[in-house]
Amino acid sequence: MPTDAAEVSVVIPNWNGRDLLPDCIASLQQTRGDLNLEIVVVDDASTDGSVELLRERFPDVRVISTGSNKGFAGACNRGVASVETPYVLLLNSDARLQPGALKQLMAVARAQPDAAVVGAQLRNADGTFQNSYARFPTLWSDWMIITGIGRLLYGPTYPSCDTTNDGTPLKIDWVGGACMLIRRDAFAAIGGFDEGYFMYAEEMDLCYRLRKAGAQVWYQPAAIVIHLGGESAVNLGARREAILYRSQVRFHRLHYGRGAADLLRAMILTATAVKIAVHGVLRGASLGRRGRRVVSLRELRSELRGV
């Protein structure tokens, strides 16, 4: 795939996503239209043959091997730093662009000169709506998420904003990171993703800092992307939940202050203790939903220490 005249670079962070990459890349090739794309896969020390598959089946895809698992933020930063196009599409390996999606994202970026990020409408594999954008969190909204009360009262898409818009692009707070079109100069101006986040909340943090710098974040519902969701993170097991909470606490500390972070940490530990007790009564102390082990308080305290 020629890169000298590329209009958009696509950066795909990958960690043991060998089975996901072919469909992801195929969706780009099938929906690119007349756009000239450069595709870059940043591989974080995969052990499943991802790199070998790419070199054999997709020789035009440029592969960057980091040698270690840098996490989503580190992989994306490395990929963006390696390209020169004005726009970069950050795409999860478990995402599948639907026809016209990239064209629709680019239309908003070109029409809105202050747009630093344009996000897509994410859908589950069955076509149902997936959380695609939201307002910045508060302690109250985080409490509603942690306890599950928000979804109980407002439905499974909580805390997303209104999902019933008429298809018109919206200027919003932040978008999901599974598919984000970014303006490279704006991204570079704020230092890219904060690599203190290993997974989760890094796109929220990025949008927060961009908004604070005067840039805009847009949501384009006409750009539809199927996102399988969490496929690479499955290998983390129960630690996945602990990493999510660590990222939430970090966001509050950086942007709302130490007091807010400490209060959120206490809320998380309290809610987790209650969940463990309930699961212990209902299914046995070591089992959670769908038979997965629930993160222990010891593991959670260890993950949250020093955030």
Task: Give yes or no for a cis peptide into 159 (omega within 30° of 0).
Answer: yes
Checking if the pLDDT of 90 tops 90, the result is yes
Mean pLDDT (whole number) for 85-103: 97
Average pLDDT taken over every residue of the chain:
89
- Domain segments of the chain as ranges: 8-231, 237-304
Phi then psi for residue 220, to 5 deg, are -115, 95
- The confidence score (pLDDT) of residue 287 equals 44
Considering the domain 8-231 in this protein, what is its CATH number? Answer: 3.90.550.10
- The confidence score (pLDDT) of residue 276 equals 85
Mean pLDDT (whole number) for 189-209: 95
Phi then psi for residue 274, to 5 deg, are -65, -45
Cβ atoms within 10 A of the Cβ of 8, count? Answer: 22
Amino acid symbol at 198 = F
> Confidence class of residue 260 from pLDDT cuts 50, 70 and 90?
very high
Mean pLDDT (whole number) for 230-241: 64
DSSP state of 18: T
Cβ atoms within 10 A of the Cβ of 15, count? Answer: 23
Checking if the pLDDT of 24 tops 90, the result is yes
pLDDT (tens digit, 9 = 90+) per residue, 106-142? Answer: 999 999 999 999 999 999 999 988 889 999 999 999 9
